[in-house]
Structure formats: structure tokens, C-alpha cells
């Protein structure tokens, strides 16, 4: 006789979340807004969940993953064309002194030159191929895993829970739009048209009679802070009801989704408290206040604060080190 299949209700949709106030509040919210006949019911078309990426869905330490891509790519460019290292911004970046690039007069131009060398002057398809090649071999310096094996397992479960209850999940991140699209599908199950990120203009041209787009850093749109609710309006045109972030850069998006909001809403901040399994950094006074105002406002606003050390039983997916997530083989 085959083993009995457990009834659907008994399958835990959030096995990596420890029992506690946060887990219970999430489960109660998705149930009450999606259950037929519930007074808090939200029509499916308005079940819009927006999620930050760096620090919310995957790590942003010791440096943001896209910055690791930028530095590796810059190193390759300089190996091919050594004269590029004459640019002080390039040489500073390659010796690990980004502070020198990001401060002082001319820092905007210097940053622009680094972005130009690594994120522009190619088609989106060429950029995608470059990022995919990098993801296939790059390893996180501490966890020795491919970056695509470092999505937070509890957040992957949360994404699945939201979608199982009729939510559409959107990434709204300061990361690069085209960068995130390379892995958003295989890693998070989020298609390219539901990714919002920082981007420059792509330039359309006919080359030898064939149409192509070329990435530029012109007319840069930075999808951070107030830019997040602004981009949500431009791209989606609906107010989100569920908002997930991890830093003060996500505050405007949390405010937009949850304050003066006629629909029941869910705001959540991932608080990085787990130096053993991940990093504990966001509310140290020395960390330039990454998540200070958010923690201060959370109680009044009713936002959930995930204490990673306390609320997550697992941080990363249980794959053997060195292997990519099954769906993300590039």
C-alpha cells in the first residue's frame, strides 16, 4: 500500500520559519486576504507583493553581489586592455578601495566610468551571457557556494506561499534591472516583466539592417528610496499590499504599500541579526545606519521585523556546497 498522502492543510508551507509572531502573522495575512468570503478579501488582480532583492532575498555581504560581478568583469577588461588601469577609479576599484571612488569631487563621473566599462556598450543578450558565465563559476568568498545557491530559503518559501494565494510577486530593487533578470526566473520564479530595478536607457539602432538594443548608462533611473514607490507606479500602476525589504532604502516603498492604505496590508523588514549563519550588521551604529529608521518606525506602522537568528530555522537552501540551485544552471 502506498503511504498515505497528508491532507493539503497539514503540509507546512513555511518549514524554515520558526513558530513565532512573525510566522503566524504572515500565515494569517495571506489566509484572510485570499479566503473566499473573508471581509478582508482582496481581488486577485490587486494582490501585488513587492520585494527588495539585496539583503531581502539574498545576501549583500561582504559586498553586494552585483559589485562582485562588476569587479571581476573590470579585472577581465584590464587584463585584456591594460591601459584601462591608468584611470584612477579603475585602479582604486581593483585594489579594493571603492571608498576612494565613491567619495570626493568627480565621484559621480568615476562611478559612471566603472559602470560604462562593465554594464554598457553591449546588447542585453551579450550582457546576459556575461552575467550567466560569471554566475556559473563565481563563488561567495565565505560560503563557497554559487551565488544562486544563496537565496534565503525562508524567503523562497514565502514567495511560493504568496503565489499559492494568488499574489503576483515583483522584485523592486536598487540592483540592475538586466542583472537581476538573468537569475530572477530560475532562482525566484519571477519573470523578466516582474522585475523593477535601476537601469540606464537602452538605445535602439539598426546595424547592418538588423535591429538591436545597446545598453547605456544614460538617463540613469536609480530604483532606491523614493525611487521605489515611483517606479512601482510607473511599471505596475497599482499600489502593492505586501512589501518586503531590509533597509531604510525600502522605507518609502513600505510606507507607500501600508500607510493610508484602504486594503489590508503586510509590511516586513528582514533584520540581519545572525552573524553565525549569515551577517549581523544592519543596525550597528558603525554600519552607517542601514536599518535604523525602519526599526524605529516598525512598531507604530505594524511592520513585521524578521529577526533572522530567532525566526529562521534555516538560512540557505540545503544543497551541497559547490552545486548550483537545480533550476539555475547556466
Q: Which positions touch a copy of itself (CB under 8 A)?
A: 45, 124, 177-178, 181, 191-193, 195, 199, 201-206, 209-211, 213, 219, 226, 229-230, 233-238, 252, 255-256, 259-260
Q: Which residues of 14-27 are buried (b: 16+ CB within 10 A; e: fewer)?
A: bebbeeeebbeebe
Closest residue by Cα to residue 324 from 139, 102, 130, 100: 139
Residue number with CB closer to a copy of itself (16 or 184): 184
CA separation, residue 39 to residues 29, 95, 162, 166 (Å): 12, 58, 19, 17
What stretch of H or E contains 251?
Answer: helix 251-258
Residue number with CB closer to a copy of itself (149 or 180): 180
Task: For the CB of residue 237, give the shortest distance to a copy of itself in the complex, in Å.
Answer: 3
* CB atoms closer than 10 angstroms to residue 204: 9
Task: For the CB of residue 229, give the shortest distance to a copy of itself in the complex, in Å.
Answer: 5
Residue number with CB closer to a copy of itself (37 or 209): 209
Distance, CA of 158 to CA of 36 (rounded, Å): 21
Task: For the CB of residue 131, give the shortest distance to a copy of itself in the complex, in Å.
Answer: 13
CA separation, residue 200 to residues 120, 189, 273, 292 (Å): 9, 25, 34, 30
β-pairing, 202-207 vs 210-215, is antiparallel
Task: For the CB of residue 192, give the shortest distance to a copy of itself in the complex, in Å.
Answer: 3
Residue number with CB closer to a copy of itself (55 or 176): 176
Distance, CA of 75 to CA of 63 (rounded, Å): 16
Sign of CA pseudo-dihedral 254, 258, 260, 262: positive
- What is the rounded radius of gyration, in angstroms, for the C-alpha atoms of the chain? 21
Task: For the CB of residue 65, give the shortest distance to a copy of itself in the complex, in Å.
Answer: 19
Task: For the CB of residue 236, give the shortest distance to a copy of itself in the complex, in Å.
Answer: 5
Residue number with CB closer to a copy of itself (22 or 180): 180
Task: For the CB of residue 63, give the shortest distance to a copy of itself in the complex, in Å.
Answer: 26
Residue number with CB closer to a copy of itself (59 or 257): 257
Residue number with CB closer to a copy of itself (189 or 289): 189
β-pairing, 48-51 vs 202-207, is unpaired
Amino acid at each position: 500500500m502506498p503511504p498515505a498522502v497528508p491532507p493539503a492543510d497539514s503540509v507546512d508551507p513555511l518549514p524554515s520559519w520558526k513558530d513565532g509572531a512573525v510566522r503566524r502573522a504572515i500565515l494569517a495575512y495571506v489566509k484572510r486576504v485570499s479566503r473566499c468570503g473573508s471581509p478582508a478579501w482582496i481581488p486577485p488582480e490587486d494582490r501585488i507583493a513587492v520585494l527588495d532583492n539585496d539583503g531581502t532575498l539574498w545576501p549583500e555581504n561582504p559586498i553586494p553581489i552585483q559589485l562582485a560581478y562588476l569587479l571581476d568583469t573590470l579585472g577581465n577588461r584590464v587584463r585584456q586592455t591594460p591601459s584601462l588601469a591608468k584611470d584612477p577609479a579603475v585602479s582604486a576599484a581593483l585594489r579594493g578601495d571603492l571608498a576612494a571612488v565613491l567619495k570626493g569631487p568627480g565621484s559621480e563621473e568615476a562611478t559612471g566610468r566603472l559602470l560604462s566599462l562593465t554594464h554598457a556598450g553591449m546588447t542585453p543578450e551579450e550582457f546576459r551571457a556575461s552575467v550567466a558565465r560569471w554566475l556559473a563559476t563565481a563563488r561567495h568568498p565565505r560560503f563557497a557556494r554559487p551565488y544562486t545557491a544563496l537565496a534565503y530559503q525562508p524567503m523562497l518559501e514565502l514567495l511560493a506561499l504568496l503565489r499559492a494565494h494568488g499574489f503576483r510577486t515583483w522584485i523592486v530593487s536598487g540592483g540592475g534591472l538586466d542583472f537581476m533578470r538573468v537569475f530572477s526566473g530560475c532562482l525566484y520564479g519571477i519573470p523578466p516583466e516582474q522585475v523593477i530595478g535601476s537601469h540606464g536607457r537602452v538605445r535602439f539602432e539598426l546595424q547592418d539592417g538588423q535591429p538591436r538594443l545597446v545598453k547605456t548608462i544614460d538617463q540613469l533611473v536609480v530604483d532606491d528610496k523614493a525611487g521605489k514607490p515611483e517606479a512601482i507606479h510607473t511599471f505596475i500602476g497599482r499600489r502593492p499590499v505586501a512589501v518586503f525589504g531590509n533597509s531604510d532604502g525600502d522605507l518609502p516603498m513600505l510606507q507607500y504599500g501600508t500607510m493610508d492604505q484602504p486594503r489590508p496590508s503586510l509590511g516586513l523588514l528582514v533584520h540581519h541579526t545572525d552573524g553565525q549563519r549569515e551577517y549581523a550588521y544592519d543596525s550597528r551604529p558603525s554600519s552607517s545606519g542601514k536599518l535604523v529608521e525602519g526599526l524605529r518606525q516598525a512598531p507604530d506602522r505594524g511592520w513585521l521585523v524578521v529577526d533572522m537568528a530567532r525566526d529562521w530555522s534555516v538560512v540557505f537552501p540545503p544543497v551541497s556546497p559547490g552545486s548550483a540551485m537545480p533550476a539555475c544552471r547556466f
